[in-house]
Structures are given as structure tokens and as C-alpha cells.
């Protein structure tokens, strides 16, 4: 039986050729020629003051909060329905993550929930482009401006998406990208911080390299410059190997996103009339990057049983995102009922640019059969067969 993986990276000969160039250059480490070229490419693509390549999006979030001056015990409002990286980044700086509930239709943070959570200790908001769909930045920016808060865009899942005609990744004063293996553009692992203010970028770049400048640059100076460590920094650099791969991937992003759009449209056509699940909703003012394709199962459906059946047929699936506030590490007493409900009922099915039409059809058929088999309503006396 052919397996259909949940995710699959679209990497090939172009990326291999770019890596070979790095090998030949003799500088595979971070902040070298390829890294600098990638940062320039990102800054131009997104129209920002600076772009800093990082080892992953979590590192970029940490660097962002440091550069924005978040202090211990400050409160930062974070979108609840997401991978828990934003809340963890807040904890890295000994601040307090405050979890904001989300919209039931998009899973993105609810601006009214954000507004209701603001206190005198609130310093900023981290919005998340949930699973590839941008949040409501017009409303969120208005709230941030009204209260003097920073706004960070976690665009980890949304490379290629748009909001009101603008690219995800350029929707807030600071944005963070991910190039993890399941993203629309990938180097296996990787990330970037994008900043409108070059001072934010400069701060992040310095902290990403133990608090000193580029060793590659220092090696080109005549003499023996000896860097001084004036503050605590981190090893958050992205290797030139990964940077070279990403330069190719960013050049292919339209091609790869077009294929994901085709897959998403086929899923919607095949599953849109199924009463036991809901397909993703995309508001008219934005487009989806389709990092993931998430269906919301009906309340009567046994999700675990559906997942077991799909995996038994060689079809990858997952739970979607997380309701962060219920994760034990945060010991939160907050309630985010919409996020909790999505966490309980969402199911990710295969989504990547390598899927064929036949594979999508097989996934849809198997999913439709599984939800009908494992629904309490269809198993009850007098229910549909």
C-alpha cells in the first residue's frame, strides 16, 4: 500500500547545487556570504528595514522580545491556538504569557479577546498566522497603537500568504518566519526576524551571535581584531548551507504555493458537502499559505479512531495546533474555550506540494468513510448507515 505522508519537503537538484557551492566556498557556518545574501533577499522581498537569518522561528521570537525590551514580569498577550513557541519565547525573558482566545472560523487570535486582556502590565501582543492564514492585523494594530503596545507577527506557517494585499511576514513592526521542513519554503530547520526598524534588526543580529559581530567579516580585516563580549548573546545563527537552500526555495515559493492551492481546492471540492466535518474558511481579504490542511470534525466524531483508521491505511494525519493554555508547562488558570474546542476537534491531513490528484482523492475518500464510521450519530439506533 502506498503511503501518503502528512508532510513532504520539496527539495531537489537546484537546492543540491546551491549546497555544493557552499561546500566549494569553504565557509559553511553562519553569517557568511550566503547568509548575508539571504538576508538581503528577505529584506527586499518583504520591504523591511532589516532581516536577520536565525536557526529557527523560536529563536527569532526570543530575539524579537529581547530587542523590544521586554522585562521580567511584563505581560505579553499571545494567540492561544498555535504551536506553543510564542508563549515559550515570553517565558525565555521571564515575562508572563497571557493567552488570548481565537476565532472559531479561522483559528486566528480574536482581536476583542486581546483588547479584553490588556492591563497596566501589558507591553505587547504576539499574533499568529495560524497554520498559514494571517490574523486580523488592521484591528490588532489599532488596539496596539491605542494602548502603546508592540505587535509581533508570528508568520511561521504563512510564507506566501497575504492579508489585504500585503505579504504575511510584513504585517507588523516585527515579524518572525519559520523554514522548518513542513513550511512552504524550507531548509529543514531555519527562521528569520524581519524588522521595519533597522535598529531592531541590528540588536537581533548581534544577540544571535553571542553578542559579537560576524566572525566571517572579522577574518577579512587586516590585522587581528579581537571582539569583546559586552552582553549575553545566543548561538542563533543560520548556517550558510541552510541559507543557500533557502535562497533557492524563496525563488520557488510561487510555484510551490500554486501547487498547494490546487491541493486545497481539490480537498474543498471533495469534502465541502460532508456534514461530519468542516473544511477551512478563508476570509475574502486574505489568502492562505496552506502549511497545513485542517478539517474540524463534528462533535459526534471520534477523532482518535479516525486518525487510527487513516494511519492504518498509510495516510498521515495529526491533531492540528495546540491550545497553549492547557499545556502543563504554563500552569495557566485561563480559559480559552474556542481554542480548546479546536484543539479537541481539528485534524490535519496530508498537505504538501508533492501530492498528486489521485492521492488527494484517496485521502478524501478515506477521511469521509472514517468520519462516518466513527460518528456517534451514525452508530446510534436509527442513525444513518
Which pLDDT tens digit goes with each residue over 148-204? Answer: 999 999 999 999 999 999 999 999 999 999 999 999 999 999 999 999 999 999 999
Q: Cell match 527562521: residue? A: 191
- Dihedral-angle region of residue 164 (phi above 0 means left; psi in -120 to 50 means alpha; beta otherwise): left
Q: What is the mean pLDDT of residues 207-225?
A: 84
| Phi, psi dihedrals of residue 264, rounded to the nearest 5° | -60, -40
- What does the pLDDT average to over 104-116? 98
Task: Tell whether the model's pLDDT for residue 220 goes beyond 90.
Answer: no
Closest CA to 237 of 48, 27, 9: 27
List Cα–Cα distances, 367 to 205, 284, 373, in angstroms.
Answer: 45, 27, 10
d(C-alpha 46, C-alpha 196), whole Å: 10
Contact 193, 64 (CB under 8 A): yes
Backbone angles phi, psi at 54, to 5 degrees: -140, 165
Contact of 303 with 345, CB cutoff 8 Å: yes
Distance CA 291, CA 199 (A): 31
**Would the pTM count as exceeding 0.85?**
yes
Is the pLDDT score of 225 beyond 90? no
Per-residue pLDDT, 227:
85
Q: What is the mean pLDDT of residues 87-93?
A: 98
The answer to whether 79 and 124 have CB atoms below 8 angstroms apart is: no
pLDDT for res 379: 60
Do 155 and 175 contact (CB within 8 A), yes or no?
yes
Q: How far is CA 135 from CA 111, 212, 287, in A?
A: 9, 35, 11
CA triple 168-169-172, angle to 5 deg: 100
293-297 and 166-167 beta bridge pairing: unpaired
Q: What is the mean pLDDT of residues 235-259?
A: 97
Placement of cell 518583504 in the chain: 46
Asked whether residue 260 carries a pLDDT value surpassing 80, the answer given is yes
User: CA 254 from chain center: how many Å?
Assistant: 18
The dihedral over CA atoms of 330, 64, 148, 80, expressed in degrees to the nearest 10, equals: -30
Radius of gyration of the chain (CA): 22
- Residue 365: what are its φ and ψ, rounded to 5°? -65, -45
Neighbours of 335 (CB within 10 A): 12
Cβ neighbour number for residue 199 with a 10 Å cutoff? 11
Give the confidence band of 380 by pLDDT, cuts at 50, 70, 90. Answer: low
Distance in angstroms (rounded) separating the CA atoms of residues 354 and 362: 15
Which has more confidence, 378 or 141? 141
Amino acid at each position: 500500500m502506498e503511503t501518503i505522508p502528512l508532510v513532504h519537503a520539496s527539495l531537489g537538484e537546484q537546492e543540491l547545487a546551491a549546497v555544493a557551492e557552499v561546500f566549494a566556498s569553504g565557509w559553511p557556518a553562519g553569517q557568511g556570504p550566503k547568509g548575508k545574501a539571504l538576508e538581503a533577499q528577505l529584506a527586499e522581498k518583504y520591504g523591511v528595514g532589516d532581516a536577520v537569518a536565525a536557526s529557527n522561528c523560536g529563536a527569532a521570537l526570543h530575539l524579537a522580545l529581547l530587542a523590544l525590551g521586554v522585562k521580567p514580569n511584563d505581560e505579553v498577550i499571545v494567540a492561544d491556538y498555535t504551536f506553543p513557541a510564542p508563549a515559550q519565547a515570553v517565558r525565555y525573558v521571564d515575562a508572563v504569557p497571557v493567552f488570548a482566545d481565537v476565532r472559531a472560523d479561522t483559528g486566528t487570535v480574536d482581536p476583542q479577546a486581546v483588547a479584553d486582556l490588556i492591563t497596566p502590565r501589558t507591553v505587547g501582543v504576539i499574533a499568529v498566522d495560524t497554520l498559514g492564514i494571517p490574523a486580523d492585523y488592521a484591528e490588532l494594530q489599532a488596539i496596539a497603537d491605542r494602548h502603546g503596545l508592540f505587535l509581533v507577527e508570528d508568520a511561521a506557517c504563512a510564507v506566501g500568504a497575504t492579508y489585504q494585499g500585503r505579504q504575511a511576514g510584513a504585517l507588523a513592526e516585527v515579524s518572525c518566519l519559520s523554514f522548518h521542513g513542513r513550511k512552504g519554503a524550507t531548509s529543514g530547520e531555519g527562521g528569520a526576524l524581519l524588522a521595519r526598524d533597522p535598529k531592531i534588526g541590528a540588536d537581533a543580529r548581534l544577540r544571535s551571535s553571542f553578542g559579537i559581530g560576524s566572525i566571517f567579516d572579522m577574518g577579512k580585516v587586516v590585522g587581528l581584531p579581537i571582539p569583546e563580549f559586552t552582553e549575553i548573546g545566543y548561538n542563533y545563527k543560520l548556517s550558510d548551507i541552510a541559507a543557500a537552500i533557502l535562497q533557492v526555495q524563496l525563488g520557488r515559493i510561487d510555484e510551490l504555493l500554486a501547487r498547494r492551492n490546487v491541493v486545497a481546492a481539490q480537498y474543498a471540492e471533495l469534502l465541502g458537502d460532508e456534514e461530519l466535518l468542516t473544511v477551512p474558511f478563508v476570509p475574502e481579504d486574505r489568502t492562505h499559505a496552506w502549511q497545513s490542511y485542517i478539517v474540524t470534525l463534528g462533535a459526534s466524531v471520534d477523532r482518535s479512531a479516525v486518525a487510527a483508521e487513516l494511519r492504518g491505511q498509510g495516510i498521515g494525519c495529526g491533531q492540528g495546533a495546540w491550545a497553549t493554555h492547557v499545556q502543563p508547562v504554563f500552569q495557566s488558570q485561563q480559559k480559552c474555550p474556542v481554542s480548546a474546542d479546536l484543539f479537541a476537534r481539528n485534524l490535519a491531513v496530508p498537505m504538501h506540494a508533492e501530492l498528486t490528484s489521485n492521492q488527494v482523492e484517496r485521502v478524501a475518500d478515506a477521511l469521509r468513510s472514517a468520519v462516518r464510521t466513527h460518528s456517534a450519530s451514525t452508530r446510534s439506533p436509527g442513525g444513518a448507515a
